[in-house]
């Protein structure tokens, strides 16, 4: 099997995680929020929550992406992974501007994650029996 596209999506996900972390550091400096504080200025709070929500989601996404790519399809896994990535970028950018605008990005990434998760579990179960 060829996992180049799956690997690319994983690498781009790592860049996304670095980006949201950098954004929090920038907001921490701009709004003078000293570590270890995780609240303060409302714009810092938005950046911090966007980061934490992205990290929490990535923890589930990465294994789902690889399981789906291995058991179902590397091509479709990568397409769904790219949709997840686009959704999470949309989510993070929108969340940092105004929390209510994050819904579209959340919906896209959540749909991709659900398909990856349940698609892989269905195929794993099918292969077991």
pLDDT at 6: 98
Tokens standing for 125?
């179960």
How confident is the model over 39-49, as pLDDT tens digits? Answer: 999 999 999 99
Tokens standing for 66?
């690889």
User: How many domains is the chain partitioned into structurally?
Assistant: 1
Domain that holds residue 105: 4-128
The CATH number of the domain holding residue 74 is 1.20.120.550
How many whole angstroms separate alpha carbon 63 and alpha carbon 60?
6
How confident is the model over 69-82, as pLDDT tens digits? Answer: 999 999 999 999 99
Tokens standing for 58?
């990535």
Q: Is the pTM of this model over 0.85?
A: yes
What percent of the chain stands above pLDDT 70?
100
pLDDT at 1: 81
Distances, alpha carbon 63 to alpha carbons 35, 46, 54, 117, in Å: 31, 27, 15, 9
87-91 long-range contacts, CB within 8 A, separation 24+: 87/111, 87/112, 88/16, 88/54, 88/57, 88/58, 89/16, 91/50, 91/53, 91/54
Compute the average pLDDT of residues 53-59. 98
Nearest to 6 by CA among 60, 73, 91: 73
pLDDT at 105: 97
The SS3 of residue 84 is helix
How many whole angstroms separate alpha carbon 1 and alpha carbon 70?
8
* CA dihedral for 92, 98, 101, 106, sign (positive or negative): positive
pLDDT at 30: 96
């Amino acid at each position: 099997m060829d996992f180049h596209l799956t690997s690319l999506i994983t690498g781009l996900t790592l860049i996304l995680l670095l980006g949201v972390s950098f954004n929090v550091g920038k907001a921490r400096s701009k709004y003078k929020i000293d570590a270890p504080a995780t609240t303060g200025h409302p714009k810092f709070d938005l950046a911090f929550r966007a980061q934490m929500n992205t990290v929490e989601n990535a923890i589930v996404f990465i294994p789902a992406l690889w399981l789906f790519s291995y058991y179902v399809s590397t091509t479709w896994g990568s397409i769904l992974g790219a949709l997840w990535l686009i959704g999470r970028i949309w989510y993070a950018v929108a969340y940092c501007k105004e929390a209510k605008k994050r819904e579209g990005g959340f919906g896209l990434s959540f749909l991709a994650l659900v398909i990856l998760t349940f698609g892989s579990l269905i195929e794993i179960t099918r292969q077991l029996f």
